[in-house]
Amino acid sequence: MNENALKIDVLNMKGKKVDSVELDKNVFDGKVNKELLYQVINAYLANRRQGTHSTKTRGEVSGGGAKPWRQKGTGRARVGSNRSPIWRGGGTVFGPKPRDYSVNIPKKMKRLALKSSLNAKLQDQELMLIEGMELSEPKTKHFMDVVNNLGLEKMKSLFVLSGVNDNTILSSRNISNVFIADAKDVTAYDVLNCKKVVIVKNGLNEIIDRIKKI
């Protein structure tokens, strides 16, 4: 093994070092493309928008059929409808209407963004690798023990697993600062949205295989 190779410790569920692995230089090359991350994360957030917001124009609000007062002789300004935008209860001018906010991002950009996000976390020493994440039963206490053993009890943390099972989901869903992602689906946004990223050893291999498809 190359002595100059970049290595990372592998911990067990008790927070003890059990091994170390050499990181793939083709993926963990230290390069962080901030411009790309900006584009991809903005697109991800835009794609989460439902775009169902809607307001009514003066032609869509109810009422307004009769002229409020005659055109001349009252001393007041001319008005044809009480649904005018300047009246209370009137229509909205240039208000939002339902629209599609989705942005199409090529797979290559998504994978490059994921690569950059992992490099950023590694540079900031916010990336952890664990041997496995096997819970015998769905209990929050068991998952919280792992969080405490890794020193993450006060940190917003993402656990990236190789296949997410029911025990993991049920054990973690009541912990407000813990998020779960599958290695085959994890995104750059998921990685950067948390302070610490904990990846299962097998899950890291899946992520590397995804990125290498570029």
Tens of pLDDT, residues 133-190: 888 889 999 999 999 999 998 899 999 998 888 889 999 999 999 999 999 999 999 9
Q: Please give the Cα distance from 8 to 18 (Å, whole number).
A: 11
Fold of 7-47+105-211: Ribosomal Protein L4; Chain: A; (3.40.1370)
Tokens of 23: 């990181």
Q: Are the CB atoms for 112 and 210 separated by under 8 Å?
A: no
Length of the chain: 214
**Is the pLDDT at 2 greater than 60, yes or no?**
no
* pLDDT one-digit tens code per residue, 14-29: 999 999 999 999 999 9
Q: Are the CB atoms for 58 and 51 separated by under 8 Å?
A: no
Per-domain residue ranges of the chain: 7-47+105-211, 55-95
The pLDDT > 70 percentage for the chain reads 97
Pairing state between β 178-182 and 157-161? parallel
Per-residue pLDDT band for 1 (boundaries 50, 70, 90) equals: very low
